[in-house]
């Protein structure tokens, strides 16, 4: 596992202005089938493709999109490749969290100067639709950040991909809008090192902290810190396990994933009841909390606009902070290993991460761990 280097902190103005999450690339065992799943279950549209037909000989990639959410699903064509080895080790999961920047060369230069480990130096790729500049650095495990400079590109995704003309008849939108945050799991004692990495190398700041008193059950607990970029548009919670009587969900993830990686992706919506109803109808499976969770909900969170009975039917959780409230729900893992899953979240002013739901959520996760024999 790559360890962050130690360098002096930089206190200058934002040296890494990020415009948002450009896309997330997932390495998967069968990209064609994964693309069908995300189109059919999540309502994402197929917009671009690369593979042998486009001159790419070592892999195939399908790009699926809904509003500002874009996933690249990639499968290697050669079993001896590095990519194939990573899929064998980790299973299906996130390889790259790609970030849109105005200047990829400057982003690469500034982050590597502060201790970021180079994965790919700045490279320009071109086709008839223009050019894109790309560069990448390493973060926890085999996860990387790719800087994407695409102001001079008019194509559907990136040079080397062909556009898939729409509309996608398989995809029916589910109301998912953008990526709210992504969560990384790291080993015991590694959380603070990676928080410092994001602060030093990428100019992020500490946004929120949760300790084992906030996130614990009778059997297990974990620690979490949230880092955010200067605009607050990009947030990365980072989790590590804490001591408990039994194996925590982070321990289970690290064991199944064979090391650190992205635990879940939070997808934002402005109508969670509609989104979750649609996802459930299409076969997406969600964690459930006991009905008793809703008995105390009005007293705990105060008035909300959504019908309580409908939230209970769907298993949607609610929490409130001083700025408003949020609604959230978590899927089961979307592959056979208990690793990557998704959160669906709707914010109504709340800037937190559902601290009031941690106990109910983690007890629900522990019930699933027990079913798998991993608690």
Whether residue 361 sits in one domain with residue 213? yes
Whether residue 199 sits in one domain with residue 122? no
Domain membership of residue 350 as a residue range: 176-372
Whether residue 310 sits in one domain with residue 242? yes
Which of 106, 140, 163 terminates a domain? The answer is: 163
Whether residue 350 sits in one domain with residue 220? yes
- Within a domain: 10: no
Whether residue 185 sits in one domain with residue 280? yes
Taking only the tens place, the pLDDT of each residue in 241-268 is 877 656 778 889 999 999 999 999 999 9
Whether residue 321 sits in one domain with residue 267? yes
Number of domains in the chain: 2
Task: State pTM to two decimals.
Answer: 0.92
Residue 215 has pLDDT above 60, yes or no: no
Which of 128, 163, 198 terminates a domain? The answer is: 163
HEC string for the chain: CCCCCCCCCCCCCCCCCEEEEEEEEEECCCHHHHHHHHHHHHCCEEEEEECHHHCCCCEEEEEEEECCEEEEEEEECCCCCHHHHHHHHHCCEEEEEEEEECCHHHHHHHHHHCCCCEEEEEEEEEECCEEEEEEEEECCCCCEEEEEECCCECCCCCCCCEECCCCCCCCCCCCEEEEEEEEEECCCCCHHHHHHHHHHHHCCEEEEEECCCCCECCCCEEEEEEEECCCCCCEEEEEEEECCCCCCHHHHHHHHHCCCEEEEEEEEECCHHHHHHHHHHCCCCECCCCHHHHCCHHHHHCCCCCCHHHHHHHCCEEEEECCEEEEEEEECCCCCCCCCEEEEEEEEECCCCCHHHHHHHHHHHHHHHHHHCCC
Whether residue 328 sits in one domain with residue 292? yes
- Within a domain: 321: yes
What average pLDDT does the structure give for the chain?
Answer: 90
- Within a domain: 2: no
- C-alpha span between 52 and 55 (Å, rounded): 5
Whether residue 58 sits in one domain with residue 130? yes
Whether residue 110 sits in one domain with residue 208? no
State residue 222's pLDDT score: 73
- C-alpha span between 209 and 353 (Å, rounded): 11
Give the number of other Cβ atoms within 10 Å of residue 277's Cβ: 16
Residue 190 has pLDDT above 60, yes or no: yes
State residue 207's pLDDT score: 92
- Within a domain: 5: no
Q: What is the CATH number of the domain that holds 30?
A: 3.10.180.10
Whether residue 155 sits in one domain with residue 185? no
State residue 249's pLDDT score: 83
Whether residue 214 sits in one domain with residue 142? no
- Ranked by mean pLDDT, the top range of 333-342, 348-357, 363-372 is 333-342
78 class by beta-carbon count within 10 Å (0-12 exposed, 13-18 middle, 19+ buried): exposed
Taking only the tens place, the pLDDT of each residue in 94-145 is 999 999 999 999 999 999 999 999 999 999 999 999 999 999 999 999 999 9
Which of 163, 187, 215 terminates a domain? The answer is: 163
């Amino acid at each position: 596992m790559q360890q962050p280097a130690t360098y002096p902190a930089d206190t200058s103005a934002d040296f890494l202005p990020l415009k948002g999450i450009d896309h997330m690339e997932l390495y998967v065992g069968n990209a064609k089938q994964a693309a069908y799943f995300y189109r059919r279950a999540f309502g994402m549209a197929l917009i671009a493709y690369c593979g042998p037909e486009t001159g790419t000989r070592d892999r195939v990639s399908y790009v699926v999109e809904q509003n500002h959410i874009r996933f690249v699903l990639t499968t290697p064509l050669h079993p001896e490749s590095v990519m194939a080895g990573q899929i064998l080790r980790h299973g299906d999961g996130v390889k790259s969290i790609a970030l849109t920047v105005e200047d990829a060369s400057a982003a690469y230069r500034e982050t590597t100067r502060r201790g970021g480990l180079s994965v790919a130096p700045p490279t320009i790729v071109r086709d008839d639709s223009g050019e894109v500049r790309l560069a990448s650095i390493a973060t926890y495990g085999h996860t990387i950040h790719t800087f994407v400079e695409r102001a001079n590109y008019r194509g559907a995704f990136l040079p080397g991909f062909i556009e898939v003309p729409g509309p996608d008849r398989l995809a029916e939108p589910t109301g998912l809008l953008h990526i709210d945050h992504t969560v990384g799991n790291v080993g015991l004692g590694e959380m603070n090192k990676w928080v410092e990495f994001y602060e030093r190398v990428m100019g992020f700041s500490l946004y929120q902290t949760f300790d084992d008193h906030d996130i614990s059950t009778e059997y297990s607990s974990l620690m979490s810190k949230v880092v955010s970029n200067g605009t607050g548009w990009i947030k990365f919670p980072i989790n590590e396990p804490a001591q408990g009587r039994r194996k925590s969900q982070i321990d289970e993830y690290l064991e199944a994933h064979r090391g650190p990686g992205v635990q879940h992706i939070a997808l934002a919506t402005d109508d969670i009841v509609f989104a979750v109803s649609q996802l459930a109808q299409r076969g997406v499976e969600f964690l459930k909390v006991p009905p008793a969770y809703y008995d105390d909900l009005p007293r705990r969170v105060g008035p909300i606009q959504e019908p309580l009975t409908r939230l209970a039917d769907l298993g949607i959780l609610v929490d409130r902070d001083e700025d408003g409230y949020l609604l959230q729900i978590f899927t089961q893992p979307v592959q056979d290993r208990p690793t990557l899953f998704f959160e669906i979240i709707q914010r109504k002013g709340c800037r937190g991460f559902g601290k009031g739901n941690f106990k109910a959520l983690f007890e629900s996760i522990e019930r699933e761990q027990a079913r798998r024999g991993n608690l």
